[in-house]
Amino acid sequence: MNVLFLTLLDFTSIREHTIYTDLLREFHKHGHHVYAISPVERRKHSGGQVIETPEGDILKLSIGNITRTNLIEKGISTLQIESQFIWGLKQYFGHVTFDLVLYSTPPITFGRVVEFVKKRDKARSYLLLKDIFPQNAVDLGMLKNSGLKGIIYRYFRKKEKKLYQMSDAIGCMSQANVEYVKKHNPQIDPEKVEICANSVEAVDMGVDKKTQERIRRKYQIPLEKKVFVYGGNLGKPQGIDFFIECLRKQEKAPEVYFLVIGEGTEYEKLKEYITRERPGHVKLMKRLPREDYDAMVGACDVGLIFLDHRFTIPNFPSRILSYMQARLPVLAVTDPNTDVGQEITEGGFGWWCESNDAVQFSKLVCEIKGMELEAYGERAFRYLQEHYSVKDSYERIVGSVNR
pLDDT, tens digit, for every residue of 17-29?
899 999 999 999 9
Q: Is the pLDDT of residue 72 over 80?
A: no
DSSP 389: B
Q: Is the pLDDT of residue 71 over 80?
A: no
Cα 81 to Cα 184: distance, rounded to the nearest angstrom = 26
Q: Is the pLDDT of residue 108 over 80?
A: yes
CATH topology match: 2-200+388-402 vs 209-386: yes
Cα 161 to Cα 151: distance, rounded to the nearest angstrom = 15
Q: Is the pLDDT of residue 77 over 90?
A: no
Q: Is the pLDDT of residue 188 over 70?
A: yes
Query: Which residues are within 8 A (CB) of 268 and not within 5 positions of it... i.e. 6 or more apart?
Result: none
What is the pTM for the complete model shown?
A: 0.91
Among 180-184, 273-277, 285-289, the range scoring the smallest mean pLDDT is 285-289
Q: DSSP 3-state assignment of 104?
A: strand
Per-residue model confidence (pLDDT) at position 309: 97
Cα 167 to Cα 233: distance, rounded to the nearest angstrom = 28
Q: DSSP 3-state assignment of 35?
A: strand
In this prediction, residue 388 has a pLDDT band, given cuts at 50, 70 and 90, of very high
Per-residue model confidence (pLDDT) at position 363: 96
Q: DSSP 3-state assignment of 19?
A: helix
DSSP 122: -
DSSP 300: S
Task: Please indicate whether residue 68 or residue 115 has the higher confidence score (pLDDT).
Answer: 115
Cα 196 to Cα 174: distance, rounded to the nearest angstrom = 7
pLDDT (tens digit per residue) in 146-180: 888 899 899 999 999 999 999 999 999 999 999 99
Per-residue model confidence (pLDDT) at position 73: 76
**What mean pLDDT is predicted for residues 360-370?**
95
**What mean pLDDT is predicted for residues 40-63?**
86
Cα 95 to Cα 92: distance, rounded to the nearest angstrom = 8
Please name the fold of domain 2-200+388-402.
Rossmann fold (3.40.50)
Cα 266 to Cα 43: distance, rounded to the nearest angstrom = 21
**What mean pLDDT is predicted for residues 286-297?**
84
In this prediction, residue 288 has a pLDDT band, given cuts at 50, 70 and 90, of confident
In this prediction, residue 45 has a pLDDT band, given cuts at 50, 70 and 90, of low
Q: Is the pLDDT of residue 210 over 80?
A: yes
Q: Is the pLDDT of residue 278 over 80?
A: yes
Backbone φ and ψ of 50, nearest 5°: -110, 125
**What mean pLDDT is predicted for residues 246-268?**
92
Of the candidates 119, 93, 80, the residue with the CA atom closest to the CA atom of residue 35: 93
Give helix then strand counts, H and E, for the chain. Answer: 15, 16
Per-residue model confidence (pLDDT) at position 68: 67
133 residue type, one letter: F
CA angle 382, 387, 388 (to 5 degrees): 95
Per-residue model confidence (pLDDT) at position 76: 80
Peptide bond into 254 cis (omega under 30): no
DSSP 252: T
E strand residue ranges, 61-99: 62-63
Domain 209-386 has CATH 1.10.10.10: no
Q: Domain-by-domain residue ranges, the chain?
A: 2-200+388-402, 209-386
pLDDT (tens digit per residue) in 295-345: 889 999 999 999 999 999 999 999 999 999 999 999 999 999 999 999 999
